[in-house]
Amino acid sequence: MVDSIETNNLPGIGEWTALWRYAVALTVPTKKLQANLEANGLPVMVIAGEPQVRRSDIERFIEERRHEAEKRIRKPKNTLALQINLRKPQWEKMQLVPLRAFATSAGCDPNEVQDELAAAGVAMRELKIGRARSVFVERIDLDRFIARSALTLKGE
């Protein structure tokens, strides 16, 4: 009984090699690769119970797929703004400003700023981010509060 057949020297049909070698290299199941090759019209021959493929055919097939993948990756997209918005935290999408970050950037005590905002009637939201709870203010309300505070300070 013949366990294997020397496929490299078969006359007129080119150099054949085991399909599983390419499947392993591409990390694709052999049956899926075989079905894909056959769907694209490439011959797959079963020799000694093992699917074989012409080396030149599969290498050309792989190169074409790589070229198509590179085209898809390099294709310019005008959705950069959309991608940035999707990456923003939920509170930024809602136009909220973290009170603690605002107060520390202004050089103020966050508790005092929160008390002043509450006294001025500015609505605040408490959101849970991870395990911590943080207080947020709508950006437009904060801008109005800052504008009113600036006018009040000028009037004194």
How far apart, in whole angstroms, are the C-alpha atoms of residue 61 and residue 41?
Answer: 11
From its phi and psi, is residue 75 left (phi > 0), alpha (psi between -120 and 50) or beta?
Answer: beta
CB 30 within 8 A of CB 20: yes
Q: Give the pLDDT confidence of 72-114 residue by residue, as tens digits.
A: 766 555 555 444 444 556 666 677 788 888 788 778 888 888 8
Taking residues 16-28, report their average pLDDT: 83
How buried is residue 30: exposed, middle or buried, by Cβ count under 10 Å (0-12/13-18/19+)?
middle
- Tally the residues of the chain: 156
Q: Give the pLDDT confidence of 120-137 residue by residue, as tens digits.
A: 888 887 777 667 777 888
